Chains A and B, each alone.
Chain A
């Protein structure tokens, strides 16, 4: 079974440029999360989806960040324009809904490392 796939793995841009990250969750996983992880810190939630609906975007800086999950499968996170402080790793995670599983852990992709110059 394929895991959570993210692209690009690395991106270097100049400030004020736009950037987009893509995530394809594990097949059948209805819930999808975007986290931002600053260097030496734990992941912080940006947005979470249940199918195509964003159920929690309270921590998404909406002046420059946007996200979508069309058709409730893959998702795109966009930053426009990027600022120096946006340099971080952007992690995508998914989790199945109603699996009957005991744990309900998140499954993470390898992340997209953004450097803003």
Chain B
């Protein structure tokens, strides 16, 4: 069965420094997608970055990068040059299957609350 584990309930980081948020996953499907979402206090889930299971390179989106270690089944989010606006909950999520037809179940981890300190 699919499972997403985020072991860090809360993290602190100094402004302008980098931070890594951990995510491990479990699936028996060789095809899957991994996502990171940001949820500010306003409540909306904001998509940050995606990694497909067959992607050879780690995904990057601006200050966000995903450290994908397939053998270890980990997909850690790295935020470089942290900003005060990065303070939020961060969720790792997984979707089994890579076909773009049909619907899929997306499962989420329990989240990590990040606080950026000035």
Contact = CB atoms under 8 A, between A and B. Distances in A.
- Decide whether A and B are members of one complex: yes
Interface in A78-117: 89, 91, 93, 95, 97-111, 113
B103 A31 contact: yes
B91 A98 contact: no
Contact of B100 (A33, A40, A104, A111): A104
Q: Which of B6, B46, B101, B104 has the most CB of A within 10 A?
A: B104
Interface residues of B, number: 28
Interface in A18-64: 31, 33, 35, 40-45, 48-50, 55-56
A43 B100 contact: no
Given A105-B35, A113-B43, A42 B106 contact: no
- For B4, B37, B103, B108, which residue has the most chain A Cβ atoms within 10 angstroms? B103
Which 10 pairs, one residue from A and one from B, show the smallest C-beta to C-beta distance?
A42-B108, A108-B45, A103-B50, A105-B47, A31-B103, A50-B103, A111-B43, A110-B44, A43-B108, A42-B110
Contacts, number: 73
Interface of A: 31, 33, 35, 40-45, 48-50, 55-56, 89, 91, 93, 95, 97-111, 113
Interface of B: 4, 6, 33, 35, 37, 42-47, 50, 52, 91, 93, 95, 100-111
